[in-house]
Amino acid sequence: MASGWTNKGKYSVLGWVYRADTEPTNFYMALFTSAVAPTVDINTFGELTQINTGNGYATGGYQLTAGATDWDVHTEDDTNDWALIQNKDIVWTASGGSIPNGGSGARWACLTDDNATEASRLILHWFDLVSDRSVSDTQTLTLQDCEYKIT
């Protein structure tokens, strides 16, 4: 039996997950070192190594709230048969020292749910920052137009 997503189905699923005011109501974008690379088989926050916190980076990462403000682009493309959603730009500003606060730089940015137990948060999506990233005091680390696309 053949099956497939319609473009409206793709668009709707992305909207229901990221823009609806249901569970989870918040998501987090957390930064992880290159110690363990996320893969399709990584399930939880606790399987990865978060960068050292402090100086403008809080444990657990940057909070995104479900809804159109933090998920500011939501598109359906019937010509090319895809749908996507993007979160707003995420900016960490180093203050009082560098980000990360010692240790290895950030290699991966991962979107998680809002489980109260940080180590149990689900890894929903990851972004490869290509190399270890660190920023000095007063500099910023920006994740721009992180895109979640269903083709």
- pLDDT above 90 for 25: no
Confidence of residue 2 (pLDDT cuts 50, 70, 90): low
Confidence of residue 6 (pLDDT cuts 50, 70, 90): confident
- pLDDT above 90 for 5: no
Q: Report the pLDDT averaged over residues 27-53.
A: 96
Give the span between the Cα atoms of 10 and 61, in whole angstroms.
27
Closest CA to 50 of 112, 131, 106: 106
- pLDDT above 80 for 1: no
Q: How far is CA 84 from CA 39, 80, 106, in A?
A: 21, 12, 25
Confidence of residue 3 (pLDDT cuts 50, 70, 90): low
Question: What pLDDT sits at residue 4?
Answer: 78
Give the span between the Cα atoms of 141 and 30, in whole angstroms.
12
Q: Report the pLDDT averaged over residues 26-54.
A: 96
Could you tell me the pTM of the whole model? 0.92
Whether 106 and 24 have beta carbons less than 8 Å apart is answered as no
